[in-house]
């Protein structure tokens, strides 16, 4: 999902944390490019891989050797003793 918004809204979203905002919106990722004018929101199909454990499309899937097909959040969960 791409959110183009002015400085005040962008600062608020950044302060809230984009990863948490993505979870709140039930999307895999939120992009926040600089905006000109009013706030707009556009959704696109994710190009990220799907985690085999949680079924979410996350940027961290496939980036950790030994945990192919899992996202960082799931790796942290399965590593806990």
Using CB under 5 A as the binding rule, whether residue 22 contacts Zn ion is answered as no
* Rounded-to-integer distance, Cα 45 and Cα 36, Å: 24
Residue in the structure block whose two tokens are 């999902």: 1
CB of 24 to Zn ion, least distance (A): 17
What are the backbone dihedrals phi and psi of residue 65, each rounded to the nearest 5 degrees, phi first? -65, 140
Q: Report if residue 71 touches Zn ion, rule: CB under 5 A.
A: yes
Cα four-point dihedral sign 59, 62, 68, 72: negative
Minimum CB separation of residue 73 from Zn ion in Å reads 5
If one asks whether residue 49 binds Zn ion (CB under 5 A), the answer comes out as: no
- Which positions touch Zn ion (CB under 5 A)? 51, 53-54, 71, 74
């Amino acid at each position: 999902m791409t959110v183009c918004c002015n400085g005040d809204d962008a600062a608020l979203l950044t302060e809230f944390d984009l990863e948490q905002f993505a979870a709140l919106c039930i999307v895999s990722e939120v992009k926040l490019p600089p905006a000109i004018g009013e706030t707009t929101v556009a959704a696109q199909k994710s190009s990220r891989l799907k985690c085999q454990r949680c079924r979410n499309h996350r940027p961290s899937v496939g980036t950790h050797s030994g945990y192919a097909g899992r996202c960082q959040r799931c790796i942290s969960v399965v590593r806990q003793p």
